[in-house]
Amino acid sequence: MSSIIQLLPDHVANQIAAGEVVQRPASVVKELLENAVDASATDIKLIIKDAGKTLIQVIDNGVGMNASDARLCFERHATSKIRHAEDLFALCTKGFRGEALASIAAIAHVEMKTKQEQEELGTHIVIEGSKVVSQDVAVVPKGTSFSIKNLFYNIPARRNFLKSDTVEFRHIVDEFERVALAHPNISFVLYHNGSEMFNLPMANQRQRIVGVFGARTNEKLVPVQETTEIVKIQGFAIKPEFAKKSRGEQFFFVNNRFIKSGYLHHAVVAAYEGLLKDGCQPGYFIYLEVPPNTIDINIHPTKTEIKFDDEHALYAILRSSIKHSLGQFNVAPVLDFERDANLDTPYNYESKAAVTPNVQVDRGFNPFADEPSGQQSQKTTPSAYASSAFRKTDRTASWESLYTELTPTTNGQEGIDFEQNEITGSLFNDGEVEQTVQTTYQIHKKYIVSPIKSGMVIIDQKRAHQRVLYEQFLKNITVQQGASQQLLFPLTLHYNKTEIDLIQEMKAALENTGFVFTEINTDNIVVSGLPVNVPESEVSILLEELISDLQQEVPDSSFSQTDSIAKSMARSLAVKTGVLLTEAEQENMVNSLFACKEPDVSPFNKPTFITMSVEDLDKRFAI
């Protein structure tokens, strides 16, 4: 019987390995940027076309490679980072497995140009699907340039599973930001479709954070610093008043490597205890330095998770250091938070006794008495201010003469009769109005109960309002007839470059719902009009949640993007669970829901109401 187990060919094995290393264009960007950092580069350029589907090019001025190394780097498990198994527990570099370039070359067209500083000529290699097409000597600058074209050209199924260009580019920007934040001593530039998206010169940590997330980020940062035998902590925490509902600006770096750790995140949240609003997430940029032999990096294919030897001590140190920083910079609230500083006694008056004021009153002053001007001037003294400041110098002969015209003379009446309106009842006649029967009831500030002929209907107020708002926004965007209310004072909101680009894409749809944008600059927008059902205080939160939702998934078609915008706005503006509704609001909610085209489900395909018939209730009480 012949053997059924065979060794896979190299190109097939490389394609299988590529499935673990290269999941999307952002995976290629991450590997190439980390290789450039390991090559001691001080200037790195990233050029992207069509969100990486057409071209990913990384140019650095690192040490470069000679001809033999340039050819060998595309072999599987070929690396310059480790020599022995023990080196895995003392890693100070980014890549070390030697699978990245081999996996990338198996599923794309790769072109590499590299040269060392002491060499006169460099090497130019072209590879297509793991096959070396050409290797020539070329005149190239110092460093290395990788061009990855037509990603997944030989695996169409994987290419078809890629998301839209906006989503894929968002992932690329995420990887770019993580590497750029971890290495502020390196200058980074990012181009997308010929446009410069980022230009980050060499800087310190604070300047790099401001360069990535905008100038307004500087005022949000609180320095965090702690040095112990276990860990050295540096970085910044974002002030609680700038916390967002989405997990956007949360970065952990261990030995200049970006990681994700729910355990350490919980330590940061514990440090913010009592300072955040409900549903808000803290922001932070924390840089940890630990001995390399106390961590294990090689536990996840993407190397974004790390195992620590002493997690409990690290948890306690991180929480206490952030809590200390928040309190040291007067971020934590004081106990006497209602104290008015204007009522404090100045230091110059603390030792002085109180002086009782001496008030002099002219008890003989009569404003109606006839008094010559000469006598008045004699009685007036500087202290008797009441008799001089409030007297009229020019008086009439007698004050009774002011009212002579009101005396009736024609009808022989001795006095004046004033018309009196007899109060017969209140304006709304509360006692005579017919009492109306309440038809809706709210239970636990969450459900609305309304009787029907067959029984009763129980409505989830949050989901019902989402359905009502969703259809309303969808109609406004489609028909382009959204009503707008103008603001007396326009709002200026600040965002980073990627968020500004996303607002530019959905500007037309937002204007159809009622938004009016006066200006859209490189780092801020000016809003002068809002939809009628959007309060001014909710604009910033609404746009932040909308940007967060669209960053995760923005379809290519305009209708799908419109649908996503309508869903996100409906979810943000819908009445929340726990809000007390009046009887009129309850009835309006019920009527609006059943006037919708699809009242049965919310925009997120969850039921909005259930019905209970009288028979069902009878069965409940049956014994």
Instruction: Report the DSSP pairing between strands 441-443 and 43-49.
Output: unpaired
Q: Is residue 55 predicted with pLDDT exceeding 70?
A: yes
Q: What is the mean pLDDT of residues 536-556?
A: 74
Q: Is residue 240 predicted with pLDDT exceeding 80?
A: yes
Please state, in angstroms and as integers, the Cα–Cα distance from residue 598 to each residue in 310, 433, 471, 610, following that order. 54, 38, 9, 14
Domains of the chain: 10-200 (3.30.565.10), 213-328 (3.30.230.10), 442-610 (3.30.1370.100)
Radius of gyration of the chain (CA): 37
Give me the helix-helix angle, 497-505 and 539-552, nearest 10°.
90
Q: Residue 222: enclosing H or E segment and its boundaries?
A: strand 221-227
Sign of the CA dihedral running 570, 572, 573, 575: positive
Q: Please state the separation of Cα 308 from the chain's center in Å.
A: 30
Alpha-carbon distance 310 to 288, whole Å?
Answer: 14
The confidence score (pLDDT) of residue 380 equals 46
Q: Is residue 171 predicted with pLDDT exceeding 50?
A: yes
For residue 134, which amino acid is it? Answer: S
Instruction: Render pLDDT for 133-164 as a digit per residue (tens, 0 to 9).
Output: 999 999 999 999 999 999 988 888 888 888 87
CA atoms within 13 A on the CB side of 114: 25
Q: Identify the three-state secondary structure at position 390.
A: coil
Do 181 and 85 touch, CB atoms closer than 8 A? no
Q: Identify the three-state secondary structure at position 458.
A: strand
Q: What is the mean pLDDT of residues 440-446?
A: 87
**Tally of CB atoms within 10 A around 395:** 14
The confidence score (pLDDT) of residue 334 equals 47
Most confident of 6-10, 207-211, 349-353, 480-484: 207-211
Instruction: Render pLDDT for 113-132 as a digit per residue (tens, 0 to 9).
Output: 999 998 999 999 999 988 88
For residue 476, which amino acid is it? Answer: N
Binned at pLDDT 50, 70 and 90, residue 385 comes out as very low
275 or 25, which is more confident? 25
Q: Mean pLDDT lowest for which of 42-46, 195-199, 344-348, 485-489? A: 344-348
Alpha-carbon distance 216 to 209, whole Å?
Answer: 11
Buried b (16+ CB within 10 A) or exposed e, 457-480: bebbbbbbbbbbbbbbbbbbbeee
- What mean pLDDT is reported for the chain? 80
Q: Mean pLDDT lowest for which of 62-66, 76-80, 207-211, 372-376? A: 372-376
Alpha-carbon distance 402 to 404, whole Å?
Answer: 6
Q: Is residue 607 predicted with pLDDT exceeding 50?
A: yes
For residue 499, which amino acid is it? Answer: E
Please state, in angstroms and as integers, the Cα–Cα distance from residue 477 to each residue in 90, 248, 556, following that order. 57, 28, 17
> Helices (DSSP H) in 495-536: which residue ranges?
497-505, 507-513
pTM as predicted: 0.70
Q: Mean pLDDT lowest for which of 181-190, 333-342, 530-539? A: 333-342
Q: Is residue 389 predicted with pLDDT exceeding 50?
A: no
Q: Residue 485: enclosing H or E segment and its boundaries?
A: strand 484-494
Instruction: Render pLDDT for 398-436 as a digit per residue (tens, 0 to 9).
Output: 556 555 555 555 555 555 555 555 555 544 445 444 445
The confidence score (pLDDT) of residue 179 equals 93
